[in-house]
Structure 1
Amino acid sequence: MVTAPGDALAPRRGIGLVGGLSANLLNMIGIGPFITIPLALAAMGGPQALLGWLLGAVLCLFDGFVWAELGSTLPRSGGPFHYLREAFGPSKLGRLFGFLYLWQTLLIGPMSIASGTVGLAQYATYLVPSLTGWGIAALAAGVCLLNTGLLWRDVRSIQRLSITVSVIVIGACLWIILSGALHFNAARAFDFPANAFSPTHGFWMGLGAATLIGVYDYGGYNNVCMLGGEVRDAQRTIPRAVLLSIPIVAALYIGLNLAILGVLPWREAMQSKAVVAEFMQALYGPIGGITVAILILIASWGSALVVLLGYSRVPYAAAVEGEFFAPFARLHKKGGFPAISLLFMGIASAVACLVSLDNLIAVLIVIQTLFQYTAQCFAVVMLRRRNPVAQPGQFRMPLYPLPVIVTLAGWLYIVATGKPVHILAGIVMMLLGTGLFLLLSKRRASWPFER
């Protein structure tokens, strides 16, 4: 049973710092690094792909300052929907930006969730080699629907689940890194090909592609911002969860890369479909490969779970503001969660599992950059100008405006080095969203068609 917002004024604030941090970490440490290490190696043609992971970490840290300040300033569920509306004016241009973010979320939310479950299904082929084609898609879609059922409950019980799985995932990563350190071969790890760092056009394009992969894998440090209305002491908790999660995951990812490159020749790793499992099999035999494959499947399942949790709050936030269909504003009578919004995201993500993984990743990052990430850089500046003095307890980024400038430059670089077809898809989606907004505004006689 569900209830309208008037009967349950807001979601329950049941998430503390540990819960918020685990929601971020579990989102970030999903299937991503376990399937994209070979993609990054191929993009740059050697272990110099580590530059992409380093550059991605720096970009995400600066972007984390943007998210931390916005999340502390407007700690509400649905995060960016409110950031963009308030920054650009909730009655005028902010309505367009808020709608575009909602439009983006209806597209990339399911794609983001599906990218995790499709990766999970592909990794499962290490354990079940007969799993191919439609079987992979069916398994991925089934995980999406399973997670929808698991999230059909009070957020406090989900917090306990995410903390437990986060401990398992981080423990698995540390085991992999320690195993690599004990068998590390520096000559193999840093076997750079000739002219690996020559600043050619190919180098910069490859670095852009590797950075895009790194950003995808680091993605999730903002998940706690989506749950702002369900976070305790949100002005302090959100920035801490964001800014702690990035260096923790960066250290784990760079450690994973070095561990694998120090054991497996990079030309072999670049061709692998289950590189971490093959790495552990080389060290511990079949049992090692099977064990780590199971742990990776747990990580990717948990990541998909918390991504669905975060994105399911965005249509709810828009509906509460009157910018989306009213049923999406309903909360479950007992659990206090946005039931219709969760159900929509769960089903849509299952359908998105029909798209290939590489296209899911590329289109996901490009569309988010064009729709949201660049706009948020301007949003934080506009909110600062409107309120130059920080409120008690509010986080303000250090060295302002340097983090904003670096973040904006980084996002533009990633888009500029992307494939034209993915850039075109992002532009087309943005134009379609703008057209739909104008059509709806004209029917309502609202801005910019006020009478």
Structure 2
Amino acid sequence: MSKIILDRKISLLQATAINMTDMVGIGPFIVLSVVVEKMNGPWFLYAWIAGAFLSFIDAMIWSELGATFPLAGGSYNFLKEGFGPKWGKLMSFLFVWQTMIQAPLVIASAAIGFAQYFTYILPLDEIQRKLVSGSVVILIVLLLYRKIETIGKISVFLWLGVLITMACIIFGGFYHGQFLEPVKHINDGLEVNSAFAAALGFASVKTMYSYLGYYNVCHLGGEIINPEKNIPKSMFISVAGIALLYLFMNISVASVLPLETIIKSPFVVSDYVQALAGPIAATIVTALVLWVAFASVFSATLGYSRIPYAAAKDGAFFSIFAKLHPTKHFPYISLLFLGSVAFVFSLLFRISDVISAILAMRILIQFVGQGIGLLLLSKQKRRNFFKWKMPLFPIPVIVAMVLWICIFYSTTFDMIRLALFIISLGIIAFMVKARYNKEWPFQQV
């Protein structure tokens, strides 16, 4: 096992940039029309507000755990510590087990979305789109194959592109002069009933997909400067900043395009800019959207590559994933493996196939599991143990878990069955591994 350790070289600015570039991927540009369709009315903005609210209170859970356990792997460490020396082994194993499947899905989904928007600039057939998405994954792996301080600088550079893109889209709404119209009519025809609650749940599955990534800094905990302060700060800045950008972007688009047009458009942002400023401007903004999608794949792949490494270094996963590059000091085996699987997924799946699957596979073990783990750890260690403490504990934890369960239910029964199937396979794999190694629950007393 490698004796090389990770370097703490990522600043607050770089950590925030990594989070925000992961959050603002292709997601908001792809799901914008889907959210409007699910809500079927001007109140679609409530789905984006709901996503921001859940992200903010869930970030409190991540902040307590991330500041207290600033190590590579994030949730792997949180679940292991929260559930204790016995059940913590199972929960942390299940998280890594799921990560080896859902992390490449996340990476592939952004690459597939990149290829979809690329067809606005250059029409492509199905095979050509797959070649584009696969090439994006390969290029990302090549860019990440370097020292972490260089990656931090690249992240800030890509983040600037994200901010420029969102600024261009939002400015169009202000320039048009009807920016506040969607807000004025947000409650037109609104009836708060079971139908609205169901629509909000289905739409929130899509908006939460777009918010995912506010916690990416936790997976890089072993490389963050002053993690007790910078990990929580970077998450709250990221959630607040992205929530405003998403709301302004949706308001801008809806102030120009009719809801019927938004629902039917596969390139809604491109069509929005074309309606405002013509095809040349639309092509330029589409290129910026591609920049954002590329930046998201970069950031997500960076964070996920640290999870198998952390588990392997801890002896809970295959030891080969614990290897660090001898001179560049990053987990290159983990990066290459996840990149390879993501490349295959980018050739096999469509964007609509993976969004709900990504959320369904993560909610029970990672998000709900971390909430339970935090409650257990707080009872055992007491509140003074934590390096950062949320206000009104434990109310935010309970609210977050309830909302995650509602999102899980809204992913559809097919996705729920898939998630439970993956968890079941993981439990079987853990038991086989434990029995072979004579570990809990098969260890001899």
SS of 1:450's partner is coil
Gap change, CA 1:206 and 1:314, over 3 Å in 2: same
- Structure 2 residue ranges without an equivalent (≥5): none
User: How far apart are residue 190 of structure 1 and its match?
Assistant: 6.0
| 1:377 and 2:374 are equivalent in the alignment | no
Q: Which residue of 2 aligns with 1:102?
A: 96
| 1:417 and 2:414 are equivalent in the alignment | no
| 1:58 and 2:58 are equivalent in the alignment | no
Q: Which residue of 1 aligns with 2:287?
A: 294
User: How far apart are residue 326 of structure 1 and its match?
Assistant: 1.0
Structure 1 vs Structure 2: percent identity of aligned residues? 34
Deviation digits for residues 190-220 of structure 1, max 9, x if unmatched?
6979984224443222111111111110111
**TM-score under structure 2 normalisation?**
0.96
What is the aligned counterpart of 2:242 among 240, 245, 249?
A: 249
SS of 2:384's partner is coil
What is the aligned counterpart of 2:7 among 4, 12, 35?
A: 12
Deviation digits for residues 212-244 of structure 1, max 9, x if unmatched?
111110111000000000111111110111111
Gap change, CA 1:329 and 1:359, over 3 Å in 2: same
Q: Distance in 2 between matches of 1:389 and 1:286?
A: 57
What is the aligned counterpart of 2:82 among 87, 108, 115?
A: 87
User: How far apart are residue 418 of structure 1 and its match?
Assistant: 2.3
Q: Which residue of 1 aligns with 2:350?
A: 356
Equivalent residue letter for 2:238: S
What is the aligned counterpart of 1:262 among 233, 244, 255?
A: 255
Q: Which residue of 1 aligns with 2:429?
A: 436
SS of 1:336's partner is coil
Q: Distance in 2 between matches of 1:200 and 1:135?
A: 45
What is the aligned counterpart of 2:384 among 385, 390, 400?
A: 390
Matches within 5 A, 1:173-192: 173-185=166-178, 189=182
Equivalent residue letter for 1:117: A
Q: Distance in 2 between matches of 1:187 and 1:105?
A: 41
| 1:46 and 2:41 are equivalent in the alignment | yes
RMSD: 1.6
Q: Distance in 2 between matches of 1:340 and 1:112?
A: 19
Q: 2:148 touches 2:330 (CA, 8 Å); kept in 1?
A: yes
What is the aligned counterpart of 1:128 among 113, 122, 130?
A: 122
SS of 1:335's partner is coil
SS of 2:264's partner is coil
User: How far apart are residue 89 of structure 1 and its match?
Assistant: 1.3
Aligned residues: 443
Q: 1:76 touches 1:229 (CA, 8 Å); kept in 2?
A: yes
Q: Distance in 2 between matches of 1:200 and 1:103?
A: 39
More helix by share: 2
| 1:33 and 2:28 are equivalent in the alignment | yes
**TM-score under structure 1 normalisation?**
0.95
Q: Distance in 1 between matches of 2:211 and 2:78?
A: 22
Tell me whether 194-203 or 428-437 shows the greater mean CA deviation.
194-203
